[in-house]
Every structure is written in structure tokens, then in C-alpha cells.
Chain A
């Protein structure tokens, strides 16, 4: 063993940096895990409604639940409407952005326009579903959370309201 003071000092320096950055890495990764696993998107049941008997326009409501303690900024959200699994239309408006504070939830409505004319008349009889993707960013983490989602509404005829 050769206990050199210079080597010992360098070791202490490396070790102290290691401990400081190590603690930082462990806590940040733990926070990121919390943020990334506690954000979810929910379709509000029975919120889908046709707005006209021609099945041209429809609305549906969604809810973003932020179960983490970090502020979530929903930067991107796109959803498409499907008739029996086939693309029928989407919301063509530009996503305005949505901020969901920690431990809160926000509801929003999407306006679907059916643009596949060949299947438009099946709107009341087809099995309706949706697919989409969402991009969430947290101020604390550089990496955004991006995930795809899908769900079903079943058969929803025009109810005349």
C-alpha cells in the first residue's frame, strides 16, 4: 500500500463529486419515475355525441389526470375517430396546449369532423373507437413523456339533441 497524500486528495475529490451527483441522480430519477407513471388520459364515458344526423360532426370529452406532484404541460394531443377500426375523421383544430398542475386533473372536449365520406353514413351503426397520441412535458425533466392510446365508445346513434 502506498498512501500518497496527492492521490488521497484526488480520491476524496472524485468521491465527493460522486456522492453529490449520485444523490442527485437517484432523487431525480425517482421523481421522473413518479411523474411519468402517474399521468393518465381518460375518456369520459358516454361523452361522445353526434351533432348532426348526417354524422358529420361529433364531440367527445377526455380527462388528463396528473397524479404526480409536478406540473404537466400537455404539448401535443391528437386523436382520430374510427368506424369499425377504419379511420373516419379527427379533430383538425390546432391543439392549444393544456397545463395540468400537480395532483389535479383537467377535462377538455375534442370536436371530430368525419372526412371519410365513403363510410360517413355508418356513423350511427358502426362500432366507434378512437386512437391517438399525447405528448406531455414536465419542467423538471428534459425528456418528454409520449404515449399512444386507444379506446372504444361502442355504437352511438344520433340522439336528436
Chain B
């Protein structure tokens, strides 16, 4: 497939795809971190994380999200959905043995899962939001620039484009930009 990176629509599509993939990965990672922090699973799944590490981890996850998504209007629901998704991953773990037929689904399990999910949603939204805000503010300072923007600028700087645009009387506009 030949991608035309000078096309704004293509860039937007790629950007949305990358952000969606990033959201999925970070949400799952947050859920896994919740699982390894949970006291009731201590000793059952091997490794156990202290809540301090989880707080730092959740802040980093938020930072990565905030550094990518520049629009606050998009970032806020993404952060909320990430925390919700993280809690959902934890609930999925609790119900996994039910789905594999090893445990019976009881009201006690449902109540436990729902209260814990609410708790972890509330607990994770604070560090993830803090990280996201920090990422939103200082994300542009991270070295490496913007992959999509750089490609667009490279394309703009190509001499044939510049010449063709100059021919069309747009050269001045490009130079003064």
C-alpha cells in the first residue's frame, strides 16, 4: 500500500490509529498493574507490587498519553476510559476462571469484582490524570519531535513541490510561513 504522507487525511488516519493502539496498550498495562498491586491476589499470581510503584506506573502511563494527545477535549475522556478499561481488565481476571469453567459465578464474586473495580477506577484516575496533565504540558519538550509533522515538512521542502507551488503563485506563502 502506498501512503501519501503529504495528504492531511492520511496523516490524521495514521495518527488516530497510533493513538488508538497506544490507548489499548496503555490501558491493558494499567489493568495489569492493578492486578499485580491488588492485595487479594497476593501470593496467587507470583509477583506483587507495592502501591507506590503502581502510583508511579500509573503516572507514567498518563504522561505517555498526555504527551501524544494534544487536544484536552480528547485527552479527558481518553484518561477516564483508560482507568475504566484498567479496572475492566482486573474484573476480567477475576472472572477468567468462571469463563474457563473452574469457578462458579456467585453473587459474592460479582459484588467483590464491582466494588474493587470502582475502587481501582477511583484510585487510578488521580495518578493517570496527573501524568496526563504533565504530559500535555511538557510533551512537546520530549526530544524526537513529531513523526507526522516532520514528514509533512520534509515533503514541503522538496524542491519540486516548492517549484510547482511557486509556479502556481503560492511560493511566497510558503516562505513567509
Cα of A8 to Cα of B69 in the assembled complex, Å: 12
Q: Which residue of the partner chain B has the closest CB to A28?
A: B45
Cα of A61 to Cα of B50 in the assembled complex, Å: 44
- Interface presence of B110 (CB below 8 A): no
Cα of A12 to Cα of B22 in the assembled complex, Å: 8
Q: A17-B29, A25-B36 are in contact. Are A3 and B148 (CB under 8 A)?
A: yes
Q: Which residue of the partner chain B has the closest CB to A22?
A: B32
Which B residues from 4 to 33 make CB contacts under 8 A with A?
12, 14-16, 18-19, 22, 24-26, 28-33
> Could you tell me if A2 and B102 are in contact, using CB atoms closer than 8 angstroms?
no
- Interface presence of A97 (CB below 8 A): no
- Interface presence of A29 (CB below 8 A): yes
User: B31's contact among A14, A22, A29, A143, by CB below 8 Å, is which?
Assistant: A22
- Interface presence of A108 (CB below 8 A): no
Q: Which residue of the partner chain A has the closest CB to B25?
A: A15
Stretch at the interface among B60-68, B118-126, B165-173: B60-68
> Could you tell me if B45 and A18 are in contact, using CB atoms closer than 8 angstroms?
no
How many residues of chain B get a CB closer than 8 Å to chain A's CBs? 49
User: B144's contact among A4, A15, A28, by CB below 8 Å, is which?
Assistant: A4
Which B residues from 118 to 176 make CB contacts under 8 A with A?
139-140, 142-149
Produce 1/0 per residue, B28-60, CB < 8 A to A: 111111011000011111110000000000001
List 23 A-B pairs, Cβ < 8 Å: A1-B15, A1-B68, A1-B148, A2-B139, A3-B146, A3-B148, A5-B147, A7-B144, A10-B60, A11-B25, A11-B26, A12-B25, A14-B64, A15-B28, A22-B28, A25-B41, A26-B96, A28-B45, A30-B100, A32-B45, A33-B97, A34-B102, A143-B43
5 more contacts with CB within 8 A, not counting A4-B144, A14-B61, are A2-B149, A3-B14, A18-B29, A29-B96, A142-B44
